[in-house]
Amino acid sequence: MTGRPVLHADADSFFASVALRTRPDLAAVPVAVVAHVYIASANYPARARGVRSGSLAQDALRQCPELILIDVPRAEVEEVGDALFDIFHDSARAVEPGSIEEAFLDVGADDLAGAAEAGQTLRRRVARELGIPISVGVGRTKLMAKLASRRAKPDGLYLIDSDEEAALRTTLPIDDVWGIGATTLQRLGRIGVFRLGDVDGIPRNELQHVCGTAMARRLWRMRDGTDDAVVRPVEQRSSLTAEGSTAGYARPDKTPAELAAACVERLCHRAERAGLAGTGITLTLRPETGGKAIVLKRTLVAATTGRDTWLEVAGDLLAGAVVPRLAGLRVTLTGLLPLDRVLHTLF
Ligand SMILES: [Mg+2]
């Protein structure tokens, strides 16, 4: 236990925010980003009109006829996600990623006020350098930090102090605890557990029986305040991935080779930016018919950042395979090494 406060930093409607960086004229109108035929992310004006991510684009248009739909700007999303984590790492002692756009941070602050100040600095920096809003939650544990960032949205900071924390450990609705499945929620409801404090009235073996030993333990810890408060840094990343679809929303189809080349270009750019060289490449092809993915791999003798090399290898792998019509493909650069270590092995 570090005993230090935890920050949860989370980009607001990330894909939509990235798409709107170059379209400030659209910031105040309902906009959604579409992946294939689904809403991947909607800005707040769109959400206010009932547009939800995960719904079909055509349903969203019925809900909100003036909704503007934009294709996922994949290259930009990957780029901004990497840059966001560069800033996280630069601002914290430890970073534990949750997704490409959210993480728990230990900023080294000893008290909640100091952590909140670091949170505001982080928010300003991300807005200035990347042009996207992030919300930051501050709390004593990861649960509290995450609940706080939810309250901070959009584009805000929220701190859960010790009084509010004490109250939440009694009143928090069970369905606000992430990671509990719908069936378990129903079963808990049947024995009268709707809020965290309700577990007090349930015999221990009954709670274990209803939601399993691990979940029961998690609930007791949340109830008595001994839940996870440690930000666990993830090792230096060992691979980078880029994805593309053959058919986007309102975009002409691309051939697998064009798609792979675009992914390789993006990956090499990101690897160079991060000071990393790759030793292997994997192409994962998703057939349009939805069948099993086709995986093509090659490892090189020495790590390289050379995009011409990777373009050639990717082209080679595709040429040597029977490629059906694709829904999309994913390219991963693997075995990443810091450039300084690569130079050492060469000389
Ligand atoms: Mg987010």
Tens-place pLDDT, residues 272-326: 877 888 889 999 999 988 889 999 999 987 888 888 999 999 999 999 999 888 8
Q: How far, in Å, from the CA of 100 to the mean position of ligand 1?
A: 9
- Lowest-pLDDT choice from 18-32, 161-175, 252-266: 252-266
Instruction: Find, among 148, 141, 161, the residue nearest to 223 by Cα.
Output: 141
24 and 61 share one domain: yes
103 and 201 share one domain: no
105 and 191 share one domain: no
- Let me know if residue 135 belongs to a domain: yes
Query: What is the arrangement of strands in the sheet containing 102-106, beginning at the earlier edge strand?
Result: 94-99, 102-106, 6-11, 134-139, 157-159
146 and 192 share one domain: no
Q: How far, in Å, from the CA of 153 to the mean position of ligand 1?
A: 9
Q: How far apart are CA 53 and CA 318, in angstroms?
A: 34
Q: How far, in Å, from the CA of 14 to the mean position of ligand 1?
A: 6
Picking from 71, 96, 117, the residue at the C-terminal end of a domain is 71
Q: How many domains does the chain have?
A: 4
**Mean pLDDT over residues 43-58, rounded?**
94
Picking from 164, 187, 203, the residue at the C-terminal end of a domain is 164
Q: How far, in Å, from the CA of 97 to the mean position of ligand 1?
A: 12
Residue 126 has pLDDT above 80, yes or no: yes
Q: How far, in Å, from the CA of 102 to the mean position of ligand 1?
A: 6
What is the model's pLDDT at position 2?
56
146 and 210 share one domain: no
Query: For residue 67, what are the domain limits?
Result: 15-71
Residues whose CB is under 5 A from ligand 1 (ion)?
10-11, 101
Q: Give the pLDDT band (50/70/90) at residue 247.
A: low
Q: How far apart are CA 36 and CA 81, in angstroms?
A: 20
**Summary mean pLDDT of the chain:** 90
- Cβ–Cβ < 8 Å for 85, 95: yes
143 and 156 share one domain: yes
- Let me know if residue 235 belongs to a domain: no
Q: How far, in Å, from the CA of 131 to the mean position of ligand 1?
A: 15
- Let me know if residue 1 belongs to a domain: no
Residue in this structure with the two tokens 């005993």, named with its chain if needed: 3
- Let me know if residue 230 belongs to a domain: no
Instruction: Find, among 176, 177, 175, the residue nearest to 189 by Cα.
Output: 175
- Let me know if residue 131 belongs to a domain: yes
Instruction: Find, among 184, 249, 180, 177, the residue nearest to 210 by Cα.
Output: 184
- Let me know if residue 329 belongs to a domain: yes
Q: How far, in Å, from the CA of 234 to the mean position of ligand 1?
A: 19
Report the alpha-carbon angle 285-287-289, nearest 5: 165
125 and 175 share one domain: no
- Cβ–Cβ < 8 Å for 216, 206: no
Q: How far, in Å, from the CA of 130 to the mean position of ligand 1?
A: 15
Helices (H), 92-193: 112-130, 142-152, 162-171, 182-190
Among residues of the chain, what percentage have pLDDT more than 90? 67
Residues annotated as catalytic are 102
What is the model's pLDDT at position 343?
59
Q: How far is CA 213 from CA 142, 205, 221, 287, 301, in A?
A: 21, 9, 12, 41, 48
Q: How far, in Å, from the CA of 77 to the mean position of ligand 1?
A: 13
What is the model's pLDDT at position 248?
58
56 and 91 share one domain: no
Q: Give the pLDDT band (50/70/90) at residue 80.
A: very high
Over residues 258-279, the pLDDT tens digits come to 989 999 998 998 888 778 888 8
154 and 174 share one domain: no
- Let me know if residue 229 belongs to a domain: no
- Lowest-pLDDT choice from 45-54, 75-84, 134-143, 332-341: 332-341
- Let me know if residue 158 belongs to a domain: yes
Over residues 217-233, the pLDDT tens digits come to 999 999 999 999 999 88
Instruction: Find, among 309, 290, 291, the residue nearest to 299 by Cα.
Output: 309
CATH of the domain at 332: 3.30.1490.100
**Mean pLDDT over residues 50-61, rounded?**
94
Reduced to 3 states (helix: H, G, I; strand: E, B; else coil), residue 61 is helix
Residue 104 has pLDDT above 80, yes or no: yes
Q: How far, in Å, from the CA of 292 to the mean position of ligand 1?
A: 30
Q: How far apart are CA 199 and CA 337, in angstroms?
A: 48
Side chain identity, residue 261: A
- Cβ–Cβ < 8 Å for 145, 103: no
Residue 347 has pLDDT above 50, yes or no: no
Helices (H), 5-141: 14-20, 44-48, 57-63, 74-91, 112-130
**Mean pLDDT over residues 159-181, rounded?**
94
Residue 60 has pLDDT above 70, yes or no: yes
Picking from 195, 224, 253, the residue at the C-terminal end of a domain is 224
Residue 191 has pLDDT above 70, yes or no: yes
CATH of the domain at 105: 3.30.70.270
82 and 157 share one domain: yes
CATH of the domain at 42: 3.40.1170.60
